[in-house]
Amino acid sequence: MSGFAGYQNEIYMAGLGDVVPDLPTDLTRLEALAEERMPAPSFAYVAGAAGSESTARANRAAFEAWRLVPRMLRDVSSLDTSVTVLGTPMPAPVLLAPVGVLSIVHPDGESSVARAAASVGLPLVVSTAATTTLEDVARASGDGARWYQLYWPKDRELAISFLERAAAADYRALVVTLDTYTMGWRPRDLDGAFLPFLKGVGNQNYFADPVFQRVLGGEVDDESLGPAVLQWATTFGNPTLTWDDLAFLREHWHGPIALKGIQHADDARRAAEAGIDAVIVSNHGGRQVDGAIASLDALPAVVEAIGDRVEVLFDSGVRTGADIVKPLALGARAVLLGRPYVYGLGLGGEAGVRHVLRCVLAELELTMALTGVTRPNELGPELLVRP
């Protein structure tokens, strides 16, 4: 094998000189290692989920429930994992999911992630709740593909400003997160009384915004931090939004739009009827609603409802390269990877993120070949069973 799978040979060859990877290649081990090494509040914020965390467990149980059925005697000597999603060419059907407040994990936060993603060619979806401004993340990303994720604020002028800034910084697509107009009940954070935004961490895109500053009455400094945080809290979420508001996005964003947080087929149909370009089947990694449907279990109905009209992407519960094959086989066009790269960042900075991404891509390529397919579009439900 060559291509991404060459990382396997690279590791074995380094072993001839008694050099072994700094981080595990079984990416399911990263969480336990991160719990040992990361500050407890930071780890809890990343690893935690809503309520009893049953939705997060259901996400993983759904991956275990679907089993691959490899096919034999197929020519897999030439593999091509590349796809184009929402007009963005990418070397594999993988994007880095939007994750906020990354400086609580590593001082260089989003910039390290942007450089690592660009180095392997994967698109990064940059969160509104980043601890680095979207302009600075773009500079760190360089020529790397990047999408912008919007937490739609109450202030329409602020929303317009975010969109204009993202367009000016060459973000290629817009991802609108629908499920976080208020934060879910998250006991790990509540037990530690830890919400970084209240300390001015994760509000950087707001604090740097000219509309936000105009309302505040000036730039954010030590003296104005308290009022700035209060202003952020009053505008962050907008529970009044309805399907009719999607026209506002089309008026102010002229590229592709994806709606993230779709779990019901009827909502998927509404998105398609509204002219949205893509939906992302996601339950926010289990962080919003306890007892919700697993994202992977929600995927087939959404694909059946709109898969012939709208690109369907998948998020929530992905931990390994082998995991990625299953949502692709169920009809997803691409998959968003979240917590594993964040653990890589916390454990090894930029190099840790790059290791995680290279492991994911290598295992994806190998799993495709060993399942008997050479292109992502060859993956279909006939390769899966639920014993």
Catalytic residue among 252, 264, 284, 355: 284
- At 2 the pLDDT is 62
Based on the residue annotation, tell me whether 355 is a catalytic residue of this protein: no
Residue 5, domain member (yes or no): no
- At 1 the pLDDT is 55
Can you tell me the distance from the alpha carbon of 75 to that of 78, in angstroms, rounded to the nearest whole number? 8
Q: What pLDDT tens digit does each residue of the chain (387 aa) get?
A: 569 999 999 999 999 999 999 999 999 999 999 999 999 999 999 999 999 999 999 999 999 999 999 999 999 999 999 999 999 999 999 999 999 999 999 999 999 999 999 999 999 999 999 999 999 999 999 999 999 999 999 999 999 999 999 999 999 999 999 999 999 999 999 999 999 999 999 999 999 999 999 999 999 999 999 999 999 999 999 999 999 999 999 999 999 999 999 999 999 999 999 999 999 999 999 999 999 999 999 999 999 999 999 999 999 999 999 999 999 999 999 999 999 999 999 999 999 999 999 999 999 999 999 999 999 999 999 999 998
- At 387 the pLDDT is 87
Residue 210, domain member (yes or no): yes
Residue 14, domain member (yes or no): no
Which helix (H) or strand (E) element contains residue 127? strand 124-127
Q: What are phi and psi of 129, to 5 degrees?
A: -85, 25
Residue 203, domain member (yes or no): yes
CA-closest candidate to residue 342, choices 298, 304, 287, 380? 287
Give Rg (Cα) of the chain.
20
Residue 9, domain member (yes or no): no
Residue 76, domain member (yes or no): yes
Can you tell me the distance from the alpha carbon of 378 to that of 360, in angstroms, rounded to the nearest whole number? 19
Residue 385, domain member (yes or no): no
Residue 171, domain member (yes or no): yes
156 CB burial (10 A radius; 0-12, 13-18, 19+):
middle
Provide the token pair at 83.
Answer: 């796809």
Please name the residue that has the structure tokens 């994992």. 81
Domain containing residue 361? 22-374
Domain count, the chain: 1
- Find the CATH number of the domain harbouring 56: 3.20.20.70
